[in-house]
Amino acid sequence: MPNPIAPILQPYREELITQYTRVFRTQMFTSRAELRPAEAMQVVGEEVAILLQETLSAEEAFARGQVLCQRGVSLQIITNLGRVTRQIILTGAEQSVGLSLLDIYDRYVNGVLEGYFQETEKLILSEQERIRGALQRAVGRYTIEIKEVQELAERANEANEFKSQFIARISHEVRTPLGGIVGMSEMLQHGIYGTLTADQKAILDRILNNAKNLNQLFSDLLAQAKIEAGQLHLNASPIVPKEIVESIYMNCLPLALQKGLALKTEIDPELPARILGDEIRLTQILSNLVINAIKYTHSGSVLVRVNKEPAQKWSLQVKDTGIGISPEAQAYIFEPYRQVEESFQGQESGIGLGLAIVSQLVSAMYGTITLQSRLGQGSTFTVRLPYQVVSVSERS
Ligand code: ADP
């Protein structure tokens, strides 16, 4: 069908294209056009040409709208096109002609919009379908992965439990005969089976020392296995800090004297005599620190201090005049199985679990451990813990 409006619009052709392009260019950067500016200009140009040269039936306009949609032209561009055209017609054509033109334009724009909407709807539906499929596949994969992770976690738990049980069994199997060795050696040492020669006594001392070290090693392994398996349970019963310090002092004094070291203790009289705590674990923390201090000190002293701190806290401090710890080593010595190579010359070393256990126990008690040390100038380990005073009813 020949375009009845084409001859009327012909004189305005240049003006229309210029207007479209100008308005469109200014709106391009503020509107939500999905095309790049150059592509959008081209589409606008095509639309103007269609309006000027052909008349599109509603179906053709509809098809045109679908094409525009497939090219990604946004709805806003199409409505802009209609609005700008109206302005030009109203200002550029005689009113009577303008009204019938508006009618044709409205049909054109409506047809285009309808095609656009339908195509957009189709696109949205197919996109929804695609997303639904992808989602189903992802959910399927996710379900399988969750199952796999659960199985792995179960297997890891079983392995961990097995490891803890295994270590507990081995520790028990080893510590029982070790207890026998220590006991019998002590009987020999005390002369129950007759007086020993100096050589025999020296050898017996070494047997006892090695047996005690082995015993410590297995009790560390057992404690670490328990912590890793989440089986560490703390008690809160009334304890007397002074008694804990004294018992550690008595146990460690022979070790210190053997090395010619002075072992001293200081207890803050301000600290309540009885507080709530886990005696076994507190003893483990303090004796680990004191044994280390003696182990890594060649001359001088080891001082154990227990203080009352502000804000319902108390501290256990072990200060030595030993070999000290370099800043690099300070960064890792609290990790399990980590040791400082240089410390071992001529030493009986452990397996690097002592400080890891101490720091994990301290954390479990909501406390902190800090270390001040310089190579060759000794070390000070300070454990700070919250405390609760034992109430009258708990004493009885
Ligand atoms: P280990 O069984 O080797 O003693 P620990 O975890 O108790 O394991 O200590 C880790 C490392 O930290 C030790 O190997 C030692 O090098 C260093 N260390 C611990 N305490 C001291 C200390 N008081 N003085 C110097 N070095 C220390």
Print the SS3 string covering the chain. Answer: CCCCCHHHHHHHHHHHHHHHHHHHHHHHCCCCCCCCHHHHHHHHHHHHHHHHHCCCCHHHHHHHHHHHHHCCCCHHHHHHHHHHHHHHHHHHCCHHHHHHHHHHHHHHHHHHHHHHHHHHHHHHHHHHHHHHHHHHHHHHHHHHHHHHHHHHHHHHHHHHHHHHHHHHHHHHHHHHHHHHHHHHHHHHHCCCCCCCCHHHHHHHHHHHHHHHHHHHHHHHHHHHHHHHCCCCCCCCEEECHHHHHHHHHHHHHHHHHHCCCEEEEEECCCCCCCEEECHHHHHHHHHHHHHHHHHCCCCCEEEEEEEEECCCEEEEEEEECCCCCCHHHHCCCCCCCCCCHHHHCCCCCCCCCHHHHHHHHHHHCCCEEEEEECCCCCEEEEEEEECCECCHHHHC
**Does residue 12 surpass a pLDDT of 50?**
yes
Ligand 1 close to Cβ of residue 320 (< 6 A) = yes
In terms of pLDDT, which residue wins out, 116 or 54?
116
Which atom of ligand 1 has the smallest separation from the CA of 340? 16
Which atom of ligand 1 has the smallest separation from the CA of 297? 24
Which atom of ligand 1 has the smallest separation from the CA of 357? 6
Ligand 1 close to Cβ of residue 322 (< 6 A) = yes
In terms of pLDDT, which residue wins out, 304 or 31?
304
In terms of pLDDT, which residue wins out, 170 or 90?
170
pTM of the model: 0.59
Q: What pLDDT is recorded for position 233?
A: 83
Residue-wise pLDDT tens digits, 176-185: 888 888 889 8
Instruction: Say how many Å lie between the CA of residue 352 and the centre of ligand 1.
Output: 7
Reported as a pLDDT band with limits 50, 70 and 90, residue 29 is low
Residue-wise pLDDT tens digits, 31-73: 555 566 677 777 777 877 777 777 677 788 888 888 888 877 7
Q: What pLDDT is recorded for position 318?
A: 98
319, 333, 370: which to mutate for ligand 1, most atoms within 8 A of CB? 333
Residue-wise pLDDT tens digits, 197-248: 989 989 998 888 888 888 888 888 888 877 877 777 888 889 999 999 999 9
What percentage of the chain has pLDDT greater than the value 90? 34
Ligand 1 close to Cβ of residue 343 (< 6 A) = yes
Instruction: Say how many Å lie between the CA of residue 292 and the centre of ligand 1.
Output: 6
Q: What pLDDT is recorded for position 95?
A: 64
Q: What pLDDT is recorded for position 135?
A: 92
Instruction: Say how many Å lie between the CA of residue 270 and the centre of ligand 1.
Output: 31
Which atom of ligand 1 has the smallest separation from the CA of 342? 16
Instruction: Say how many Å lie between the CA of residue 354 and the centre of ligand 1.
Output: 8
Which atom of ligand 1 has the smallest separation from the CA of 356? 6
Full strand arrangement of the beta sheet holding 262-267: 262-267, 301-309, 313-320, 379-386, 368-373
Which residue's CA is minimally distant from atom 8 of ligand 1?
Answer: 352
Residues 52 and 10 sit within 8 Å (Cβ to Cβ): yes
Residue-wise pLDDT tens digits, 69-86: 887 777 777 777 777 777
Ligand 1 close to Cβ of residue 314 (< 6 A) = no
**Looking at 249-253, 339-343, 356-360, which range is the least confident one?**
339-343
Ligand 1 close to Cβ of residue 339 (< 6 A) = yes
In terms of pLDDT, which residue wins out, 33 or 123?
123
215, 321, 355, 380: which to mutate for ligand 1, most atoms within 8 A of CB? 355
Rounded to an integer, what distance in angstroms lies between the CA atom of residue 240 and that of residue 136? 63
Q: What pLDDT is recorded for position 67?
A: 86
Q: How far is CA 328 from the centre of its chain?
A: 24
**Does residue 378 surpass a pLDDT of 90?**
yes
Residue-wise pLDDT tens digits, 310-331: 988 999 999 999 999 999 889 8
Query: Mean pLDDT score of the chain, rounded to an integer?
Result: 83
The one-letter amino acid code at 15 reads E
Residue-wise pLDDT tens digits, 243-286: 999 999 998 998 899 899 999 999 999 998 889 899 989 999 99
**Does residue 396 surpass a pLDDT of 50?**
no
